[in-house]
Amino acid sequence: MRTFSVPVGISNRHLHLSEEHINQLFGENSTLTKKKDLSQPGQFAAEETVTLIGPKGKLEGVRVLGPARDETQIELAVTDAIKLGLNISARDSGNTEGTPGINISAGDKKVSLERGVIAAMRHIHASEDDALQYGIKDKDMVKVLFEGPRGGILHNVLVRVKSTYALDLHIDTDEANALGLKNGDTGTVIIED
């Protein structure tokens, strides 16, 4: 068994929009306005927010993340999905086949998606150097241990390796709340040989 420490990044509900949907929601030739950089290089929280409208409710002020993606994807905690009346499953980013759709509004403009709402699978971003140093590879599944009064072990944590990634564990608000975690806390990755 091998271990290493990883910082925690808690992901609140958000969405990634395609260029087409950015233009439909915010006007032709619109670009996202950077509010702040995120932990992963080149990614940012935008000033723009939207309202998500599901069969049973809506969520207002949902942050758009940039830059634009090839396909629009909404990432929610399961409790968010329940409020909206959606049944979502944990998926790797980009795997939206067979997922529920949703309506997105920004002011008087709307987009209706046939699919694209997921609970993001908990995952570790790692650079190629991190992967080499810690003996992990893209698509590995590991465990992460957390100490503290509400501590525990998260199983089935996906490893994602890319040269531009910074080492970071992404979990959603449901997972963070269950374990009593906040941004910047650390966990211990457990690799079973």
Q: How far is CA 154 from CA 11, 143, 151, 157, 162, in A?
A: 16, 6, 10, 7, 22
- CA-nearest of 40, 42, 49 to 22 is 49
pLDDT tens digits for 30-81? 999 999 999 999 999 999 999 999 999 999 999 999 999 999 999 999 999 9
The residues near 3 (Cβ < 8 Å, ≥ 6 apart) are 188, 189, 190, 191
Domain coordinates in residue numbering, the chain: 2-9+122-191, 12-120
Asked if pLDDT for residue 193 goes beyond 90, the answer is: no
Question: Tokens representing 22?
Answer: 């950015």
β-pair partners for 14: 63, 75
The residues near 24 (Cβ < 8 Å, ≥ 6 apart) are 109, 111
Any idea which fold 2-9+122-191 has? Barwin-like endoglucanases (2.40.40)
pLDDT tens digits for 83-136? 999 999 999 999 999 999 999 999 999 999 999 999 999 999 999 999 999 999
Alpha helices in 142-183 (DSSP H): 173-179
Question: Tokens representing 128?
Answer: 């190629």
User: So what's the pLDDT on residue 143?
Assistant: 98
